[in-house]
Amino acid sequence: MYSADDNHLAVHLFVQGSANLCVAGQRVQVRQQSDYPWAGSVRINLEVERPTAFSLWVRVPGWSRRARLRVNGQPVDRRGALRKGYLRVERTWRSGDCLELDLPMPVERIYANLAVAEDAGCVALQRGPIVYCFEQADNPPPLHNLLLSPTSRVRPVAADGAVTLRAAAAAIDTHGWKGQLYRASQPPTVREAPLVAVPYATWDNRSPGEMRVWMREAAWPAAG
């Protein structure tokens, strides 16, 4: 979570709790308050034996492109402070100093390299560091018949201590085929269907069924 030497203190991971470290020959207590990875607010409080000068490095995750850091309420200039994936603040630290890291977590659509044939025309969903998947426990099978419109809004919803994603989608109607392998001049119809995505790390904890990470992305006549 942390590393320290005579001149530096680095915060590598965001986990609520406290740690006692030695920096510049002084004991430094670091306390974190955070609900990461479900929320992007991280509060870091410092307690030092006496005012001590050192540089403090706070990691910016690779997925975050709009991280903001404040020290005692004052914003840190990201352009001048970002070094090797960390926001660097050098000053004389005193007990009670507080850093507030804000990592915005919009839902993002992830697209695979075009050379990956299996993922052509598909999209994956990510929010912060969490990649999501679609399970049959939440969505009507077969999952390859579900379509997520490029214009559908995907919204995060807190559920059971985690965050799920919800969106308006469509399901291709499989009725009326009567065992036919092909059907001419009569394209399949679609119906609206809600789509639910859960964190990939939590899948297969309920009933057996299909799972997909890459969902087909396509518009349909009644796009939500």
pLDDT tens digit sequence for 133-170: 999 999 999 999 999 999 999 999 998 889 999 999 99
Radius of gyration of the chain (CA): 24
Q: Beta-strand (E) ranges in the chain?
A: 2-4, 8-11, 17-23, 26-34, 41-48, 52-59, 68-71, 74-75, 82-83, 86-93, 98-102, 107-110, 122-127, 130-135, 146-148, 155-159, 162-172, 190-199, 211-212, 215-217
Q: Which residue has the higher pLDDT, 221 or 215?
A: 215
Say what the pLDDT of residue 186 is: 78
Cβ-contact 202, 162 below 8 angstroms: yes
Q: Which amino acid is at 224?
A: G
Dist. CA 132–CA 129, nearest whole Å: 10
Where, residue-wise, is CATH 2.60.420.10 in the chain?
2-102
**Token digits of residue 126:** 């990510």
pLDDT in tens, 61-108: 999 989 999 999 999 998 888 999 999 999 999 999 999 999 999 999
Model confidence at 115: pLDDT above 80 = yes
**pTM for this entry:** 0.88
- pLDDT (tens digit, 9 = 90+) per residue, 2-23? 999 989 999 999 999 999 999 9
Secondary-structure class of domain 2-102 per CATH: mainly beta
